[in-house]
């Protein structure tokens, strides 16, 4: 007996077209976001390059999104004291919220940096994503060992220690993203009207 239900499997050319349409949409959205950020740039011109200002604006925006999403998940979705994954793995509600938020904000952070801040990089998207994830993992290690050093070894207060580690992480992250993840062949920085050359 034949089923009335059919599964649509796109061809290679259809997948390629869909990918190109999505990429063009990301480029368009990235250009609009860049124009908005650049509108607020002139008062900060003395202290920041346009690229560093965009990097900071995207990072702060993504951090705000992270905190909002975490708050919603922690307070309303995982409101239980313990959440069971697959029915038997217990997680506290804040760990469940963290594990849910992390991959989402990892991708939004990557997309913001790729399509708003570091638009001149000629590296392939998959290479950029792999490098971005490795830099995020490096930041987590710096955070863990930095806090352990300041709080556990030196005996410094936890909150100021976290602030110091965050500053170190911000500098390391910017340098790694600029010179490793989204490495550029030429040193030109795009403005809000520039077109991306895509590979």
158: domain range? 120-187
Strand-pair partners of 91:
83
Are 157 and 178 found together in one domain?
A: yes
Are 114 and 180 found together in one domain?
A: no
Q: In the listed set 96, 119, 142, which residue is the last one of a domain according to the structure?
A: 119
Are 95 and 174 found together in one domain?
A: no
Are 115 and 126 found together in one domain?
A: no
Task: Look up the pTM and report it.
Answer: 0.81
Backbone angles phi, psi at 129, to 5 degrees: -65, -45
Are 93 and 162 found together in one domain?
A: no
DSSP count for the chain of H helices, then E strands: 5, 2
What are the pLDDT tens digits along the chain (199 aa)? 555 677 878 888 889 899 999 999 999 999 999 999 999 999 999 999 999 999 999 999 998 998 899 889 888 888 867 877 777 888 888 888 888 889 999 999 999 999 999 999 999 999 999 999 999 999 989 988 988 898 889 988 888 888 898 889 889 999 999 999 999 875 444 455 444 444 4
Domain membership flag for residue 198: no
Are 148 and 131 found together in one domain?
A: yes
């Amino acid at each position: 007996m034949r089923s009335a239900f059919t599964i649509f499997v796109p061809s290679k050319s259809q997948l390629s077209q869909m990918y190109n349409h999505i990429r063009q949409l990301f480029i368009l959205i990235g250009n609009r976001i860049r124009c908005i950020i650049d509108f607020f740039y002139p008062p900060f011109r003395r202290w920041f390059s346009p690229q560093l200002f965009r990097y900071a604006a995207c990072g702060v925006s993504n951090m705000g999104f992270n905190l909002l999403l975490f708050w919603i998940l922690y307070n309303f979705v995982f409101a239980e004291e313990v959440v069971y994954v697959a029915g038997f793995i217990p997680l506290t509600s804040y760990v469940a919220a963290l594990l849910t938020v992390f991959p989402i904000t990892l991708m939004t952070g990557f997309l913001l940096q790729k399509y708003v801040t570091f638009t001149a990089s000629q590296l392939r998207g998959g290479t950029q994503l792999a490098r971005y994830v490795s830099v995020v993992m490096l930041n987590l290690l710096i955070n863990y060992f930095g806090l352990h050093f300041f709080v556990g070894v030196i005996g410094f207060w936890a909150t100021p220690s976290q602030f110091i580690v965050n500053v170190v992480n911000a500098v390391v992250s910017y340098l790694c993203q600029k010179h490793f993840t989204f490495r550029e062949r030429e040193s030109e920085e795009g403005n809000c009207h520039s077109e991306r050359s895509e590979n």
